[in-house]
Amino acid sequence: MQPRLEVNRIDVRYGDKKIVHNLSFTLTEGRIGCLLGPSGCGKTTVLRAIAGFEPLSSGHISVDRQQISDKDHHLPPEQRQIGMVFQDFALFPNMTVSGNIRFALKGWRRKEQQQRISQLLDMIGMRDLAKAYPHQLSGGQQQRVALARAMAPRPSMLLLDEPFSSLDVELREQLAQEVRNILRQENITAILVTHDQQEAFAMADEICVMDKGRIQQQDSAYNLYHRPANRFVAGFIGEGVLIPGIVESPGSVTTELGAIQGMMPKGCKPGCKVDVLIRPDDIVHDDTAGETAVVSERAFRGSEFLYTLRMPSGIKVLCLAPSHHKHSIGETIGIRLEFDHLVVFPQEQAASSTEDSSICQSFS
């Protein structure tokens, strides 16, 4: 399929400060992408550049192979056929639900407007609230109306800037899945900006993890978790710790938790000191196991406890266990490794920048 969006080696500056550095990615028609990263990483700046609110200092952006931004050319936002949903919803308080959607259909004939409004109200499940005003709606309902209004004129692409950040945590993932289904029905290409991994995982087909104005990895949620490209992604996505190990062979690394099997990447020769990524699901609570650790912290998560365990060397690891396995702080419990994916990083690269594309990773 042809790419709907092409972002090619763009830089964005605010005065003398470069916010976005040589950033590139593509998104094909009908796919939902996500820019995920911590606050201040530049993700919203990228979104604003795509929308036309920020000029580029280098590189270019194209939609459907038509260039809309470069250093010397800047198509105004209103001519880009790109819709945008903001985190504050930006609904008109003096307009009904129907009125807010109708506002985006200026230039359409009255009959066509009504048909489109009816179609969207059915899609977001709010036909009975067509005459309600924003203050009469819940946060989730307001967000659905904002989405319907942005989708109404059938834009070539939809941009969503932290659209769920003002909602309750419990509602965010549910609404992200609902929005994904609505976008799928309309076959709309979309980009979500968020710092929340669960929103990204629930909604996006592919995710660009950003840090300091650069994309660190563009991949599926599964690969970001199990196959991180560098230390930043390994630390930012999910939960886990890096423990020291020594490569014994091309297929084995020895750690305090025992030998771990998996193919080493090129450059990691026997004797090489590495750090091994240990996720909570890599460690199983088993009182019959030979290895033990002391419970230093625990967090109740309903069906599970997340335990922080201190090894004899003082290294701490995380372990998920069913919540009926309740252990006290200071208690010694048995543990064993159960690895499916091995990810290692050479220790000599620990202090290097995440710009370094040579950082090793390995997975089975």
Whether the full predicted model's pTM is greater than 0.75, yes or no, is yes
Q: What is the pLDDT of residue 237?
A: 96
Q: What is the pLDDT of residue 214?
A: 97
Name the 3-class secondary structure at 56.
coil
Alpha carbon 110 to its chain centroid, in Å, reads: 40
Range list for CATH 3.40.50.300 in the chain: 3-226
Q: Name the strand (E) or helix (H) holding 192.
A: strand 190-194
Please check the confidence at residue 78 and state whether its pLDDT lies above 60.
yes
Report percent pLDDT > 70 for the chain. 95
* Mean pLDDT, the chain, integer: 91
pLDDT band (50, 70, 90) for residue 130: very high
pLDDT per residue as tens digits for the range 248-292? 998 899 999 888 988 787 778 899 999 999 999 999 999 888 889
d(CA 97, CA 148): 10
* C-alpha to C-alpha distances, 327 to 138, 180, 336, nearest whole angstrom: 40, 40, 16
Range list for CATH 2.40.50.140 in the chain: 240-349
d(CA 272, CA 267): 9
pLDDT per residue as tens digits for the range 216-257? 999 999 999 999 999 999 999 999 999 999 999 988 999 998
Q: What is the pLDDT of residue 349?
A: 60
Q: Name the strand (E) or helix (H) holding 231.
A: helix 231-236
Please check the confidence at residue 63 and state whether its pLDDT lies above 90.
yes
Q: What is the pLDDT of residue 211?
A: 97
pLDDT per residue as tens digits for the range 314-364? 999 999 999 988 999 999 999 999 988 899 999 876 655 444 333 333 332
**Is domain 240-349 classified as CATH 2.40.50.140?**
yes
pLDDT per residue as tens digits for the range 32-62? 999 999 999 999 999 999 999 999 999 999 9
Fold of domain 3-226: Rossmann fold (3.40.50)
pLDDT per residue as tens digits for the range 146-192? 999 999 999 999 999 998 887 887 788 888 999 999 999 999 999 99
Q: What is the pLDDT of residue 361?
A: 36
